[in-house]
Amino acid sequence: MVYQQITRALPAFLMSSVLGCASSAAVDSSGAGDVVSSTLPPSVAPASELDWRKLPAPDHTLAHFRPGEVGDYCFDRAAQPYTAVVDSHFHPKPFGGPAMDAQHLWETFDRLGVRFINYFGIGQVLQLDANCAYYLDCPGVSATPSIKNDFVNGLELAAHDPDKVHITLSMTFIDLAQAENAVEMIQLYDREFPGMFSWSGELNIMKQALLGNNAEPATIESIDTWAPFMAVFRERGIPVTLHSDLGNNANPTEFLHLMDYVLERYPDNKIVWAHMGLSKELTTMSPAQHVRLMGERLDAYPNLYLDISWDVIYNSYHRWGEIFVPFFNAYSTRILPGTDFVAADYKTWEDYARELEVTSRALRVLEDDAFRNIALGQNYFELMEIPYEAPALCSVDEPSR
């Protein structure tokens, strides 16, 4: 098993921290977000020195990801930003209220070198008359699955298809607790937006944060009723991103059985586990236990992928880079990057740039093959089966060209 191989390769000082003796690990206790500088390669700045404003401007365009279109271009990690060119988890509309301007978003992606973006709707939309943009600000206001976001996203893309970024539309309407009419709604999408929606998600199996907004989690029984729409996704090769909390600080694996049942029931579907199962409610889980659980499931289910989006994950687990980075390197063909940015109109392009940088920090210390697979999008292209290819990396003495 790959997981067993990477744990055997961990140095003794790291294993002591894994087993609970945190004081013996070379970890930055300041919260700066990395192992201390003595354990970092000389060319890698400690996280305390990182800032999105310090990143170099990207030198690539969409053309650099179309095979053979731009000669012998190579990506120079020393001269290019380490931020991902793919945002596989982006919400262009908030839970309620107005959103950032679409054209402004596309210009932001281009400016920051984000070339490929999944446009997720919101799995649960707040009541229209609630005048609330974020569910935690309005407990008790119901949040229910809806087609609203998806249709607005489809209309915007149809009217103003950007030429500098590649947008993937995602179906986010499915209520995983009451999925009986899902195929009928997919057929509606087919009629209204033929050939435009090629992903599904983020769909919520169990999102504890939304329970205060009357959200209904999926159950073992309701998961069985997914079979018709999962068959459609399987036939079309559509990946589905599922938010399924592992558990919480009191019981880190309380809800693991739900995702386990999904994987057992639908092994031939392309499934992306959002946030690696982590959440605001699960901030103190043993990182060794976490990567063990993830590795076991990646080994058992070849169609499972992990989404490492959301700054909440970084903020809670950045001290454990010595555990997560080897895991990302070992499973580099099964990881997708993303921000989980929600584009409410009170936010700015600088807010997105900040979240992109934070959620990309682990990428800067990946091995070259893993960086190409994850940060430069090769996993995403192969999962989507779209005609793009991550550029080769420049050799040490070879500048980008």
Handedness of CA 271, 274, 276, 282 (dihedral sign): negative
Whether 37 has a pLDDT exceeding 50, the answer reads: no
Asked if 134 and 143 touch (Cβ cutoff 8 Å), the reply is no
Q: How confident is the model at residue 395 (pLDDT cuts 50, 70, 90)?
A: confident
Asked if 15 and 32 touch (Cβ cutoff 8 Å), the reply is no
Asked if 97 and 133 touch (Cβ cutoff 8 Å), the reply is yes
Whether 23 has a pLDDT exceeding 90, the answer reads: no
What type of residue is 343? A
Q: What pLDDT is recorded for position 85?
A: 98
Across-strand partners of 344? 99
Q: Which residue has the higher pLDDT, 43 or 265?
A: 265
Q: Tally Cβ neighbours within 10 Å of residue 379.
A: 23
Q: Which residue has the higher pLDDT, 397 or 280?
A: 280
- Summarize pLDDT for 118-141 with one digit per residue, the tens: 999 876 666 566 667 666 667 767
Per DSSP, helices labelled H in 166-286 are 182-192, 220-224, 227-236, 256-265
Q: What pLDDT is recorded for position 11?
A: 41
Average pLDDT of the residues of the chain: 87
Read off the tokens for 254. Answer: 């309380």
Q: Which residue has the higher pLDDT, 96 or 364?
A: 364
Peptide bond into 398 cis (omega under 30): no
Identify the structural domains of the chain with CATH numbers, from first to last: 2-6+72-393 (3.20.20.140)
Biggest CA pair distance of the chain: 60
Q: Tally Cβ neighbours within 10 Å of residue 210.
A: 20
Q: How confident is the model at residue 394 (pLDDT cuts 50, 70, 90)?
A: very high
Mean pLDDT of the 198-210 span: 92
Asked if 111 and 60 touch (Cβ cutoff 8 Å), the reply is no
84 DSSP assignment: -
Q: What pLDDT is recorded for position 32?
A: 33
Q: How confident is the model at residue 144 (pLDDT cuts 50, 70, 90)?
A: confident
Q: pTM to 2 decimals?
A: 0.88
Asked if 126 and 142 touch (Cβ cutoff 8 Å), the reply is yes
- Summarize pLDDT for 291-343 with one digit per residue, the tens: 999 999 999 999 999 999 999 999 999 999 999 999 999 999 999 999 999 99
Mean pLDDT of the 250-259 span: 98
Q: Identify the CA nearest to 203 among candidates 314, 316, 91, 336.
A: 91
Across-strand partners of 171? 200
